Amino acid sequence: MGERITIDPITRIEGHMRVEVEVAGGKVVNAWSSAQMFRGIELILQGRDPRDAPLFVQRSCGV
């Protein structure tokens, strides 16, 4: 089994992300990508007026 490298947090991105890789022989042989925050806007929207949805959901991604 190779060496494990964890980059957490990844910088120069939007948000909180972690990447873990396994390196063997100078190359990545396995990788795991992990989002570190829960979104949950789907739950907030339940029971609301559908006209609210565009303004709520754009908060999850301004771009």
Partner 1 sequence: MAVGVEIPENARIIRNLLMGAQFQHDHIVHFYHLHALDWVDIVSAITKADPAKTAALADNVSNAQVGGAAYYKQVQQRLKTFVDSGQLGPFSNAYWGHSAYQLPPEANLMATAHYLEALKLQARAARMHAIFGAKNPHLQTLAIGGVTCVRDLKPDRIAEFLYLWKETQAFIRDVYIPDLLAVASFYKEWGSIGGTTNFMAWGEFPESDQEPDSLFMPRGVMMKRDLAGVKMADQEKVTEYVTRSWYEDGGAKHPYEGETKPVQEDPKYNPDKGKYTWFKAPRYTDEPCEVGPLARVLVAYGYGHKEVKAVVDSVLKQLGIPAAALFSTLGRTAARGIETLVIGERMETWINALIANVKKGDTATYQAWKMPDKGMGFGLNDVPRGSLGHWIKIEGGKIKQYQYVVPSTWNLGPRDDKGKPGPLEEALIGTPVADPKQPLEILRTVHSFDPCVACGVHVIDPDSNEVYKVRAV
Q: Where do contacts with partner 1 occur on this chain (CB under 8 A)?
A: 3, 5, 7-8, 10-21, 23, 26-54, 57-63
Instruction: Please provide the distance, in angstroms rounded to a whole number, between the alpha carbons at the two ends of the chain.
Output: 40
CB atoms within 10 A of CB 5: 12
Q: Does residue 32 sit in helix, strand or coil?
A: strand
